[in-house]
Amino acid sequence: MKTRCLFIGAMLLSLCCFTSCNDDENLDGPAPDVIWDIYPFGISIEVTDAEGNDLLNPETENSIANQGIKMIYRDKTYEKDSLATDKQTRDVLVRFYGLRTYQRNDGRYLLIIGEFYGNRDYNNESIILDWNDGTPKDTITFSHKFWWENQEPESETIVRLNGVETDNPIHIIK
């Protein structure tokens, strides 16, 4: 009986040691008791003339807003505002809307490309913008890196317009 109790005690002790081991130094991912919503990202484009007039505003003289702007991404062509935009929920759900128009609070318009997953890596993804007006097409290339640092999500997005690194929103002068 005594050896049986010792055996059971030893088993319980080893089980406790086994289950209590935890990797507190794991900095490669989120803390196990934390749930993260990693926000999606998009590429924003502002289009003006040399005087700074918003060419995406349909009421601006020489506007390009309704001339059939398209983008080509991963061998698919998306017309501006052609994908349905369902209402958002409070959950962070990534939805690819293609190329859509967005009006900022100051009244200016942007083209938004995306949404893209914020917790994924993208490497030199190319997007071709066809302005449908006979002018040269523009190429946007972006890379997005996501990683964990000190159990916190980190990311970096690099955007290039026609091979030159630029800010997001991209400013195109036509």
d(CA 122, CA 146): 9
Label the pairing between strands 76-79 and 70-73.
antiparallel
Say what the pLDDT of residue 116 is.
96
Say what the pLDDT of residue 18 is.
44
* Sequence letter at residue 60: T
Indicate yes or no: pTM above 0.75: yes
Residue 142, beta-bridge partner list: 125, 159
Q: What is the pLDDT along the chain (174 residues), one digit of tens a residue?
A: 544 444 444 444 444 444 444 444 555 778 788 888 899 999 999 999 999 999 999 999 999 999 999 999 999 999 999 986 656 566 667 889 999 999 999 999 999 999 999 999 999 999 999 999 889 999 999 999 999 999 999 999 999 999 999 999 999 999
Q: Is the bond leading into 115 cis (omega within 30 degrees of zero)?
A: yes
d(CA 136, CA 31): 49
d(CA 91, CA 38): 11
